[in-house]
Amino acid sequence: MGNDDTIFALSSGHGKSGVAVIRISGNDLDEFAKKIIGRPPVPRHAYFTNLRDKDGEIIDQCVVIYFAAPHSFTGTDIIEIQSHGAMAVVSKIFRFLHESKMRIAMPGEFSKRAFYNGKMDLSDVDGLVALLDAQTEKQRIAALKSMMGGDSDIYAEWRNQMLKISAYAAAMTDYDADDLPGNIDTTIYENIKQLYTAVSAALKRYSTSRAITCGINVAIVGETNVGKSSLFNRIVGSARAIVSDIPGTTRDVVSATMDINGYLVNVSDTAGIRDTMDTVERIGIERTNSEIDNADIVIHVITPNDSQIQIKPGEILVVNKSDTITNHTISGAIYTSAKTGDGITELMSILGKHINKIAGGGESVLMINARTYDLVKTAADELKNAMDKSNGDYDILSEHIRYAADAIGKILGVISTDEVLDMTFSQLCLGK
């Protein structure tokens, strides 16, 4: 796929819409822009024009904007056509562009051009991927920060320091100690230690960044028939789970995604835990156990009749069916009635507090994703190796620091393999 090809894509969403945005990227598009606008275009000016096909027939009334390289999203020339959103209009424009020797873009190809032209680094692209996926306010804030270079700045600063240390260390081996500043060796180790602290702190907050990007997992657990499914329905606010008084009705895990305090939350109703001979139900119970392992927050439901309370630390204890009793005797528990709705507001408020605790202040955290986690971890490990394994040998120290710098370089795409690039860009949709 030639980098010099002129490519186009529908950048707005598919389906019927008021306006469709079609983007064209290529070199020397000013001639083509002039042809469709009908006069030499001033870059970044909007022109209302009758877009005509090659036979001169009007396709649609459009707004056309010409962006001259390098001042565009991709760094190439770009023409943006805003047409009416009907599929027939978009198809006709596509046919016209095809006939004008242009080809349809691959997913992520626009961003790939932006990357190759130095408009974005890979960390910015990660931010863009996350922004296009953002469903909640917190996801939007974190992704936008990352896309706008907030994370890149941190990575670039780390990498600069690593390269500086590596250069110092190389100087230690090349020059006589007498020719170097007196405290250079302590300075080197001090700097590595500070960097290691910063990198490993970011790594420790991975769970926070994961909670924002992937969502916070909440599992509703407890014995059968205590009202878990009924509570789930109350929490989710819609009848998603099967409610029945036959024990063991919920045999699989039912999940719903919600927005609580701007965070993405995955709530799961689970099969009740009890000894059972039923194979299907047993599978449900196994799934429940793995759901509990994955849960960030566990809501443990019992009823007022339960004399034995076995909850684990950190679980939210809920005594459901509060409508059947008059006294609230268990301290620290939230009394609810899925039947009357009593106590649900309190439960939601406690749940909100737990969620804030897990993901709170997460906007300021470095957004580490599956791709970057291993690389940040490698950097931290190599910094530690430099401190622990070099024993004053500056060649070895310098090598470990260089490995750390390479790992961070891969996050930014300064050092990149085709594999990394393909993985990053393929996540993007057409037109980005």
Ligand X SMILES: Nc1nc2c(ncn2[C@@H]2O[C@H](COP(=O)(O)OP(=O)(O)O)[C@@H](O)[C@H]2O)c(=O)[nH]1
- 228 touches ligand X by CB under 6 A: yes
In the block, residue with structure tokens 């500086």: 164
The entry of Mg ion, ligand X, none near residue 230 (CB within 5 to 8 angstroms by kind) is: ligand X
Which residue, among 150, 250, 280, 261, has the nearest Cα to 215 in the 3D structure? 261
Least distance CB 215 / ligand X (angstroms): 22
* 20 vs 338, beta carbon nearer ligand X: 338
**178 touches 141 (CB < 8 A):** no
Q: Does 245 bind ligand X (CB under 6 A)?
A: yes
Among candidates 205, 221, 225, which has minimal Cα distance to 213?
205
Q: Which does 320 bind (CB under 5 to 8 A by kind): ligand X, Mg ion, none?
A: ligand X
Q: Which two tokens stand for residue 218?
A: 């909440």
| Site for ligand X, residues 42 to 101, rule: CB under 6 A | none
Residue closer to ligand X (CB basis): 41 or 227: 227
Q: How far is the CB of 304 from ligand X (least distance, A)?
A: 10
In eight-state DSSP terms, residue 364 is G
Separation CA 137–CA 374 (nearest Å):
27
Residues in the chain: 432
Looking at the DSSP bridge assignments, the partners of residue 254 are: 269
Which string of x and - marks every residue 312-351 that binds ligand X (by CB under 6 A)? --------xx-xx------------xxx------------
Segment interacting with ligand X, rule: CB under 6 A, options 152-160, 242-250, 280-288, 355-363: 242-250
The reply to whether 302 sits near ligand X by the rule CB under 6 A is: no
Residue 106 contact, options Mg ion, ligand X, none, Cβ 5-8 Å cut-off depending on partner type: none
Least Cα distance to 399 among 214, 150, 162, 124 occurs for 162
The binding track of 262-281 with respect to ligand X, each residue x by CB under 6 A or -, is ----------x---------
- Does the protein bind ligand X through residue 117 (CB under 6 A)? no
Instruction: List helix spans (H) across 237-338.
Output: 279-294
Q: Give the DSSP letter of residue 297.
A: E
- 224 is an interface residue for ligand X by CB under 6 A: yes
217 binds, among ligand X, Mg ion, none (CB under 5 to 8 A by kind): none
Report the interhelical angle of 122-133 vs 418-426 (nearest 10°). Answer: 20
Q: Does 229 bind Mg ion (CB under 5 A)?
A: yes
261 by DSSP, 3-state: which? Answer: coil
271, 286 contact by CB (below 8 A)? no
The entry of ligand X, Mg ion, none near residue 76 (CB within 5 to 8 angstroms by kind) is none
Residue whose CB is less far from Mg ion, 86 or 273: 273
Contact partner, 276, from Mg ion, ligand X, none, Cβ < 5-8 Å per class: none
Residue 403 CB, shortest distance to Mg ion, in Å, is 51
Q: Does 197 bind ligand X (CB under 6 A)?
A: no
* Subset of residues 250 to 289 that bind Mg ion, contact rule: CB under 5 A: 250
- Under the criterion CB under 6 A, does residue 250 sit at the interface with ligand X? yes
CB 346 within 8 A of CB 107: no
Neighbour-count burial of 372, counting CB atoms closer than 10 A to its CB (0-12 exposed, 13-18 middle, 19+ buried): buried
Residue 123 is a binding residue for Mg ion (CB under 5 A): no
Q: Give the full edge-to-edge strand order of the sheet including 46-52.
A: 46-52, 58-67, 77-84, 19-26, 7-10, 103-104
User: Which residue is associated with the tokens 């909007």?
Assistant: 46
Does position 25 interact with ligand X (CB under 6 A)? The reply is no
Q: Is the dihedral of CA 67, 72, 76, 78 positive or negative?
A: negative
Binding site for ligand X (CB under 6 A): 224-230, 243-245, 249-250, 272, 320-321, 323-324, 337-339
Binding site for Mg ion (CB under 5 A): 228-229, 250
